[in-house]
Amino acid sequence: MVRLNAPARGIPPALYTPDEFQAAADALAAGTGPIAIDTERAGNYRYDDRAFLLQLRRADTDTFLIAPEGHRDAVAKILGPVINGKQWILHSARNDLPCLAWLGLHPGELFDTEVASRLAGFRRPSLLNMMDQLLDLQIDKAHSMANWSAYPLPKSWLAYAALDVEHLIELAEELEFLLEEDGYLEWAEEEFRHIVELFKGPCEPEEGNWRSTKGMGSLRSSQQLAVARALWFDRDESAKAMDASPFAILPNKTLIEAARTLPDSYRDVTRLPQFPRDRPGAAEHILKVIDNALDTDPTTWPDLHGPAPSSLPKQLWKNNFSNSWSSYQNVRDEIAGEAEELDLQVDLVIEPHALTDVFWAFVHSALTHPGVEAKDSVNTSTRKLIDRVEPLSLSWLSPTDIEPALATAGVRPWQRRIVTPILRRRLFP
């Protein structure tokens, strides 16, 4: 195994100005073949997950490291005409394409070496492991969590960043050969097209959702949720103004515990877990936000249930509709068996949430029609929850509805060809 500490042709400089971007774009435009791309972000240090470094390379060009901060419009204007619509090679593209789309950069075609590695049967598809397994090269991942918004970027970080794309084209070529041998290349291409489609249009950073905060489900009253919501929005506003990570302003554990215990004194606030003692005035500010939230009209406090789910919680499903639950488990087992035969991880054959949503859509449709399982047999609270569920829309359940329902849930054609016959057998024995 060869350990790589620096690119073969030396460490490329970071490019910070539009003139430097133009020189890089001209060199890339003169190159041929797909473009290997990676990004470095600073989500643990900044408000959002925007890119602070772009790494770009073609087989017959040098590697270019573009630092877009301060000139983001210029990046889109200069790089867009050169790389948009071309074939890109990325590793785990879903992580990088959002911040590239924010810059107005979009692939025409894609080869994702992480997805390809999984379809080729590798259980540890990290870039580090795949470089080792297929190219006998070892790269260092020590700076993956570094603060890439720093200026200037240290040379050791630039070496690390350049190595992420130095051999990415070779890796893609090796994986393409393996996929073609296994007969899975067409499946991979469907996956790549699906990912391109997800990020094809104009894109902005997604707004956060206070209800998705880790630990929110532990709160048991609308009053607690009102406080959690107020703290979350206050934190978000401060983080955005400071361009800082929200978790550096107020850790989730502190936020959730403050909402759960409703402290009303300086002493109690400062005893909250992970309380930010290095922030002057933090305790007084948290107390003020809590007081203001508690002073609001209780009719404006959040609903305990939150947004309508797309399926019934699994324990309620199991307890109240045992027949369909058993059938659902049998479907899962059959799909797992098919995945094992294909030497694929089961979530590649169908994502768990998609299977659950589609199966429950048929169960829910049956509940509103005669037969299958009677809705009236459940208790009032469960019936109310069922009424809140917003499943995939089905006019009525029939064997021909299965494939369109899977398509609506985002299941790709190659996956549908595997899953549809199993669902037909179990839903319509």
pLDDT score of 376 more than 50: no
Distance of CA 207 to the CA centre of its chain: 14
Q: How far apart are CA 33 and CA 22, in angstroms?
A: 20
* Helix axes of 352-367 and 322-342: crossing angle, nearest 10 degrees: 150
Angle at 24 between CA 19 and CA 29, to 5 degrees: 125
Above 50 in pLDDT, residue 214? Answer: yes
Over residues 349-374, mean pLDDT: 77
Taking the C-alpha atoms of residue 403 and residue 425, their distance in angstroms, rounded to an integer, is 13
Residue 148 or residue 317, greater confidence: 148
Q: Which residue has the higher pLDDT, 250 or 309?
A: 250
Mean pLDDT of the chain: 91
Span 122-131, pLDDT tens digits: 999 999 999 9
Domains 2-199 and 210-300 in one fold: no
The sheet that has 51-57: what strands, in order across it? 14-15, 63-66, 51-57, 35-41, 87-90, 109-112
How many Å apart are CA 293 and CA 234, to the nearest integer?
A: 11
Q: Which of 38-47, 66-75, 420-429 has the lowest mean pLDDT?
A: 420-429
Q: Give the SS3 label for residue 3.
A: strand
pLDDT of residue 375: 46
pLDDT surpasses 80 at 387: no
Domains of the chain by residue range: 2-199, 210-300, 314-427
pTM beyond 0.85: the answer is: yes
pLDDT more than 70, % of the chain? 92
Compute the distance between CA of residue 383 and CA of residue 387 in angstroms, rounded to an integer.
Answer: 6
d(CA 210, CA 307) in angstroms, rounded, equals: 12
The answer for residues whose C-beta is within 8 angstroms of residue 70's C-beta and 6 or more apart is 16
Q: What is the pLDDT of residues 308-359, one digit of tens each?
A: 677 777 887 888 778 889 999 999 999 999 999 999 999 999 999 999 989 8
Which homologous superfamily is 2-199 in? Ribonuclease H-like superfamily/Ribonuclease H (3.30.420.10)
Query: Quick one: which of 123, 120, 124, 126 has its CA closest to 191?
Result: 120
Closest CA to 84 of 196, 186, 206, 204: 196
Question: Could you tell me the CA-to-CA distances from 29 to 15, 70, 138, 164 in Å, in that order?
Answer: 17, 24, 30, 21
Q: DSSP assignment, residue 400?
A: G
Q: Which CATH number fits domain 210-300: 3.30.2290.10, 1.10.150.80, 3.10.20.30, 3.90.330.10?
A: 1.10.150.80
Q: In the predicted model, what is the mean pLDDT of residues 9-31?
A: 98
Asked whether residue 102 carries a pLDDT value surpassing 60, the answer given is: yes
